[in-house]
A and B are shown apart, each in its own frame.
Chain A
Amino acid sequence: EVQLVESGGGLIQPGGSLRLSCAASGFTVSDNYMSWVRQAPGKGLEWVSVIYSGGSTYYADSVKGRFTISRDNSKNTLYLQMNSLRAEDTAVYYCARGILTKWELLEKWGQGTLVTVSS
């Protein structure tokens, strides 16, 4: 069964750093397009970042230079390193897998992990 399980969220002070993990099972992360999407409390969806199967990475302007997406093939896990966190980064963060040929079509999602940036 295909499954994505996020972890690593929590309460962090502004300016701090956090690393989110997304453990995958039932498929190989490195063979797929993997994205992070976030949702602020009571708000809509915001795409954050994608890593292609070939390793290319792209980011939303709102997180460029602060967040880094990566993967560990040996652990079949996706990561999101978040630095210089701001209050507006507070959200549930979802990892999602794209359809094999279209990274943009997010067909499988994790349950999300909540990040709260507050002093």
Chain B
Amino acid sequence: EIVMTQSPATLSVSPGERATLSCRASQRVSSDLAWYQQKPGQAPRLLIYGASTRATGIPARFSGSGSGTEFTLTISSLQSEDFAVYYCQQYNNWPPELTFGGGTKVEIK
């Protein structure tokens, strides 16, 4: 099983600042990496796939990078609506299986 590790567990950021979230895979997953945002009481929302492609309707302030085992989600200038938990997810498996990281909570500093 591929294990996904996210850091930090909590990130305290002021509105308007940049946030950088990390995700590490226990083995290479190529660029088969997605990021999701989840707000309290809501279902997750797909932000990024293919490590760096924004999903439909996702603002340009969200960007993803990395390949292999190391990945980064960057939020260039945090808006109030961006305070949430972010999960990475790998999908480089056969037989089919998805694994998620433990999440990074982005909170207001």
Tell me the A residues contacting B by CB distance below 8 Å.
35, 37, 44-47, 50, 58, 60-61, 94, 96, 99, 102-107, 109-112
**Which residues of the other chain, A, contact B56 by a CB distance below 8 angstroms?**
107
Give 8 A-B contacts (CB < 8 Å), ordered by A residue. Answer: A44-B87, A44-B101, A45-B103, A58-B95, A61-B1, A103-B96, A104-B91, A105-B91
User: Interface on chain A toward B: helix, strand, loop, or mixed SS?
Assistant: strand
Bound Cα distance from A47 to B4, whole angstroms: 13
**Which residues of the other chain, A, contact B44 by a CB distance below 8 angstroms?**
37, 45, 94, 106, 109
Asked if B43 and A47 make an inter-chain contact with CB atoms under 8 angstroms apart, the answer reads no
Categorize the interface residue count of chain B: 20 to 34
Asked if A47 and B103 make an inter-chain contact with CB atoms under 8 angstroms apart, the answer reads no
Beyond the given pairs A102-B49, A104-B32, A104-B91, 11 more chain A to chain B contacts, judged by CB atoms under 8 angstroms and listed by A's residue number, are A44-B102, A44-B103, A45-B87, A58-B97, A60-B97, A94-B44, A105-B34, A106-B36, A106-B46, A109-B43, A110-B43
Say yes or no: A107-B55 contact (C-beta < 8 A), given A44-B102, A102-B49. yes
